[in-house]
Chains A and B, each alone.
Chain A
């Protein structure tokens, strides 16, 4: 986490942290940032909590980067029996934060349904069985598709319009959460669009490299709007959703205060790289809108055939507006994003450099 995480400016949450916090997907990008903040590893930030923090990590998953304060439990959301170990030998209040999910599957499209949908149903079942106090499910923008106009903003309550395989699996995950709520589970959802920040995986580092080389594909005029979520803002949103008393079954957009244009994103990354003394070539890689449409079609056909090609998927989405309105999270949770794109991107790039990642 960045040093600057500062939550003084916003309203306090209303419920004390639990005795035990369980985080699925703890070794993943978001999970790593989250458990680091919750355990106060390195420094005691605003989200440090006294209770235990347990992380679910897959049996073969590398967990060496996780802080030692996190209790690791080996298991898999796709294996319901393995989840019982998460709750073993503990009394007192328990919350679950469910971050495990697949965004870009390594092998087959089936991973989407197995992990995102069935895995979520398994986690909700386990939480219900073990009398969990509150569950926060990390959803996504993808069950809701794209905005029809650049000035449109997704409100808190929107009709499902899933974007391809990932979107369908994340929608099915939401429906699984809502079924569990109907059965009596106290679960809520946060929906972050495209998040960024320290701990990011290699594919996001590629994004920096493309900008540095002036090779980031801007489709059309680059005026499409994208909401993004800096990881510290997302952690704040998750913790507030967990520790604010609300009715179960609700979901909130958690994002930076305002959406950005694609041009703005590319320019800001360029500026942040330059500020670190990195030479950035002017971006001249502009493609006509049709390139995005073609990529989307290829992606659709490939996914229908059970194949997933990251480049086409990302390019196919680039000419769309995905922009959200966070006012419900502000109103219901007291959420107030503290970091916007320039600072967030600077932190991301510094983190990459600190890790010895070559941009």
Chain B
């Protein structure tokens, strides 16, 4: 290895997703000298097929799926590319519920956290990301969810997305307004720099101050060492990597101890006609039983259809050849359980564990059964629930068989919403950072991503992450001149 490449900056931002990109734009525009380091590569929107295996390989950590250990284990996904999760997620935009913000403010003693201020920021984000509903036709997979819920009289809504569409275009013609198209270019225009394919190994620290960062730059399998000197460092690696980075830096107070997720269970439903739209997901969600239970559509390309049928491959497997007639849906719950993220010395990825409570397990079963009923009402011929030994459901009597056989320990539980591993607030007994993301016990180490959310918000969390990150970044600029 040759001598390390060295970079200097005012502010080092680790990660370029919903938290890192917004932070970079706000700071750069206020005149700070910003350097972003990103472990993943820069992948142009459009160069991979959305929700495809190729995309999972290029833009997700570990080729798509990682596992939080527990009974049952919970599979989770993390984006790993410039723009992070915003490049690959469903793009569904939910403002944080006002009542949730108010609960967080009081329970975690978050200062200057008026929900009206955050909702004002949400309005800015919506304009920046072109958040809107589909102007033209919906996909069949969307219509199924809406139709089934309507027949049951259950509340359902089209969720707007950060997409732009040609005039009057249908759902699949949208152009995702991810971070690589929005906040990152804004940051670059104000002088911010980004180093992709740079993995942060370590932040060096002397007492309350972080003094520098050591990274590994990988190109075509060749690694080289990189060092960065900075005034302040802001960690935005997402709810799994951020606490691992802090722990490796020796910052452990309330770090990685309160992982919160929205666990989901799935089913595949088979219809008479071709309904599968591999490159898109449903824009409808059923909120009749929210916040406890929500239903939505999952990515359904053929590989994922096969995956959804593997829990009872003996009985379900033959359906895979009919994949164009199948679509995958999920039931998500708000969980009372919590998980742990623990960095293990010498191991690249942290150990993640998560424990569902009895209430969580019961609710997953209830959610899956209600979701199956939506499918039957929508006209599904057969429903294949994703748990071991699950029966094929064709009518309501079969639902009783399904509910009697369900156990969360047999289910393929997964999640895409991870947060709360460095919760923010002035209550030091509960929180890892202060009310604006400064890690307790440090002078210049900040967190500004999903890890700050004190609890899972019960809705798609990206809007909450962005609003809070922008709020904190502005406070940072108020306090430190560029």
A175 contacts the other chain (CB 8 A) = yes
> Interface digits, A139-155 against B, CB 8 Å rule (1 contact, 0 not)?
00001011111011001
B404 contacts the other chain (CB 8 A) = yes
Contact B152 A157, beta carbon cutoff 8 Å: yes
Contact B292 A149, beta carbon cutoff 8 Å: yes
Q: How far is the CB of B400 from chain A (nearest CB, A)?
A: 4
Contact A159 B397, beta carbon cutoff 8 Å: no
Residues of A contacting B404 with CB < 8 Å? 161-162
Contact B366 A148, beta carbon cutoff 8 Å: yes
Choose one: A143, A148, A175; the contact of B365 (CB below 8 Å): A148
Contact A159 B362, beta carbon cutoff 8 Å: no
Bound complex: CA A152 to CA B365 (Å): 13
A158 contacts the other chain (CB 8 A) = yes
> Interface digits, B390-413 against A, CB 8 Å rule (1 contact, 0 not)?
000000110110111000000000
Choose one: A147, A155, A160; the contact of B400 (CB below 8 Å): A160
A171 contacts the other chain (CB 8 A) = yes
Residues of A contacting B364 with CB < 8 Å? 148
B363 contacts the other chain (CB 8 A) = yes
Give residues of chain B (268-314) contacting chain A, Cβ–Cβ below 8 Å. Answer: 288-289, 292-293
Give residues of chain A (145-201) contacting chain B, Cβ–Cβ below 8 Å. Answer: 145-149, 151-152, 155-162, 168, 171, 175
Bound complex: CA A160 to CA B153 (Å): 18
Contact B367 A156, beta carbon cutoff 8 Å: no
Which partner residue on chain A sits nearest B376 by CB separation?
A159
Residues of B contacting A146 with CB < 8 Å? 362
User: How many A-B contacts if CB must be within 8 Å?
Assistant: 63
Q: How far is the CB of B86 from chain A (nearest CB, A)?
A: 31
Contact B373 A148, beta carbon cutoff 8 Å: no
Residues of B contacting A151 with CB < 8 Å? 292
Which partner residue on chain A sits nearest B371 by CB separation?
A159
Choose one: A149, A156, A159; the contact of B399 (CB below 8 Å): A159
Bound complex: CA A143 to CA B362 (Å): 16
Which partner residue on chain B sits nearest A150 by CB separation?
B359
B372 contacts the other chain (CB 8 A) = yes
Known: A145-B403, A149-B359, A152-B292. A157 touches B372 (CB 8 A): no
Bound complex: CA A149 to CA B399 (Å): 20
> Interface digits, A196-240 against B, CB 8 Å rule (1 contact, 0 not)?
000000000000000000000000000000000000000000000
Contact B288 A155, beta carbon cutoff 8 Å: yes
Q: How far is the CB of B406 from chain A (nearest CB, A)?
A: 9
Classify chain A's interface size: 20 to 34
Q: How far is the CB of B287 from chain A (nearest CB, A)?
A: 13
Bound complex: CA A157 to CA B153 (Å): 9
Residues of B contacting A328 with CB < 8 Å? 153
Contact B397 A161, beta carbon cutoff 8 Å: no
Bound complex: CA A49 to CA B164 (Å): 65
Residues of B contacting A161 with CB < 8 Å? 365-366, 369, 399-400, 403-404
Classify chain B's interface size: 20 to 34
B154 contacts the other chain (CB 8 A) = yes
Choose one: B288, B333, B373; the contact of A159 (CB below 8 Å): B373
Contact A158 B370, beta carbon cutoff 8 Å: yes
Which partner residue on chain B sits nearest A151 by CB separation?
B292
Bound complex: CA A149 to CA B153 (Å): 21
Q: How far is the CB of A47 from chain B (nearest CB, A)?
A: 29
Residues of A contacting B289 with CB < 8 Å? 152, 155
Contact A148 B403, beta carbon cutoff 8 Å: no
Contact B288 A147, beta carbon cutoff 8 Å: no
Contact A156 B363, beta carbon cutoff 8 Å: no
Bound complex: CA A23 to CA B359 (Å): 40
Contact B369 A156, beta carbon cutoff 8 Å: no
Contact B366 A147, beta carbon cutoff 8 Å: yes
Contact B154 A162, beta carbon cutoff 8 Å: no
Q: How far is the CB of B150 from chain A (nearest CB, A)?
A: 12
Contact B400 A162, beta carbon cutoff 8 Å: yes
Known: A159-B403, A160-B396, A161-B400. A149 touches B372 (CB 8 A): no
Bound complex: CA A160 to CA B397 (Å): 7
Give residues of chain B (323-349) contacting chain A, Cβ–Cβ below 8 Å. Answer: 333
Which partner residue on chain A sits nearest B367 by CB separation?
A148
Residues of A contacting B367 with CB < 8 Å? 148
Residues of A contacting B359 with CB < 8 Å? 148-149
Bound complex: CA A171 to CA B401 (Å): 12
Which partner residue on chain B sits nearest A156 by CB separation?
B153
Bound complex: CA A149 to CA B404 (Å): 18
> Interface digits, A100-141 against B, CB 8 Å rule (1 contact, 0 not)?
000000000000000000000000000000000000000000
> Interface digits, A16-27 against B, CB 8 Å rule (1 contact, 0 not)?
000000000000
Residues of B contacting A158 with CB < 8 Å? 370, 373
Which partner residue on chain A sits nearest B333 by CB separation?
A148
Bound complex: CA A262 to CA B363 (Å): 20
Contact B396 A155, beta carbon cutoff 8 Å: no
Residues of A contacting B288 with CB < 8 Å? 155
Contact B153 A148, beta carbon cutoff 8 Å: no
Bound complex: CA A156 to CA B377 (Å): 14
Contact B363 A149, beta carbon cutoff 8 Å: yes
Residues of B contacting A156 with CB < 8 Å? 153
Which partner residue on chain B sits nearest A161 by CB separation?
B403
Q: How far is the CB of B392 from chain A (nearest CB, A)?
A: 15
Contact B292 A148, beta carbon cutoff 8 Å: yes
A-B CB contact pairs (8 Å), 14 listed = A145-B366, A145-B403, A146-B362, A148-B293, A148-B362, A149-B363, A152-B289, A155-B288, A156-B153, A159-B372, A159-B396, A161-B403, A161-B404, A328-B153
Q: A161-B366, A162-B404 are in contact. List 11 more A-B contacts (CB 8 A).
A: A145-B366, A147-B366, A148-B364, A152-B289, A152-B293, A156-B153, A157-B152, A159-B400, A159-B403, A160-B403, A161-B400
Sorted from nearest, which 8 A-B pairs have the closest CB atoms?
Answer: A148-B363, A159-B369, A161-B403, A160-B400, A148-B366, A148-B362, A159-B399, A149-B292
